Amino acid sequence: MLNFLLSFLFFTTPLSEGIDSAQNKIINAQSLKGFFEELSDLSSAKDKKVVSIVHVGDSHIQANYLTGMVRNLFQDDFGNAGRGLVFPYRLANSYGPNDVKFNYVGKWDYCSIKKDFESNKIGMVGYSAIPQPNAELSIKVSEKGSLTFNKVTILDEFGTLLPISDSNVISWERINNQTFIASENLISEIRFKSTHSPKIKPNIQGVILTNDSSGILYHSMGVNGATVSQYLRSSNFQNQMVDLDAKLTVISFGTNDCYTYSSKFCSSCVKEDYQKMIQRIREQDPDMAILITTPSDHFFRRRYSNKNLVKLRSVLYEIVDEENVALWDLYQIMGGKNSILDWQKASLARKDLIHFTKEGYEKQGDLLYRALMYHYERDFLSD
CATH code, domain with 105: 2.60.120
pLDDT reading at 182 higher than 80: yes
pLDDT reading at 77 higher than 50: yes
Identify whether the C-beta of residue 128 lies closer than 8 Å to the C-beta of residue 204: yes
CATH number of the domain bearing residue 2 = 3.40.50.1110
- 202 and 110, same structural domain? yes
Q: In 3D, which of 280, 238, 235, 239 has the Cα closest to residue 119?
A: 235
Length of the chain counted residue by residue: 383
In the chain, % of residues over pLDDT 90: 71
Considering 212, 233, 262, which residue would you say is the last residue of a domain? 212
- 139 and 48, same structural domain? no
Q: What is the pLDDT of residue 8?
A: 47
Q: Is 106 left (phi over 0), alpha (psi -120 to 50) or beta?
A: left
AA letter at 271 = K
φ, ψ (nearest 5 deg) of residue 291: -120, 120
Q: What is the pLDDT of residue 9?
A: 43
Beta strands in 145-259 (DSSP E): 149-156, 161-163, 169-175, 178-187, 189-194, 204-210, 215-222, 246-252
- 231 and 206, same structural domain? no
The DSSP element (H or E) to which 358 belongs, if any, is helix 358-375
pLDDT reading at 15 higher than 80: no
**pLDDT band at 302; cut points 50, 70, 90:** confident
- 105 and 49, same structural domain? no
Q: Give the integer Cα–Cα distance in Å for 352 and 335.
A: 18
Residues 18-42: pLDDT tens digits?
Answer: 688 889 999 999 999 999 999 999 9
- Rounded-to-10 torsion of CA 194, 123, 52, 297: 130
- 77 and 119, same structural domain? no
Q: Which domain holds residue 10?
A: 1-81+214-383
- What is the total count of domains within the chain? 2
- 350 and 229, same structural domain? yes
Considering 212, 246, 268, which residue would you say is the last residue of a domain? 212
Q: Give the integer Cα–Cα distance in Å for 375 and 379.
A: 5
Q: Give the integer Cα–Cα distance in Å for 52 and 261.
A: 38
SS3 264: helix
- 380 and 263, same structural domain? yes
- 121 and 222, same structural domain? no
- 230 and 167, same structural domain? no
CA of residue 68 relative to chain centroid, distance: 9
Considering 212, 245, 268, which residue would you say is the last residue of a domain? 212
- 179 and 65, same structural domain? no
- 219 and 319, same structural domain? yes
Residues 235-294: pLDDT tens digits?
Answer: 788 889 999 999 999 999 999 999 999 999 999 999 999 999 999 999 999 999 999 999
More confident residue, 202 or 209: 209
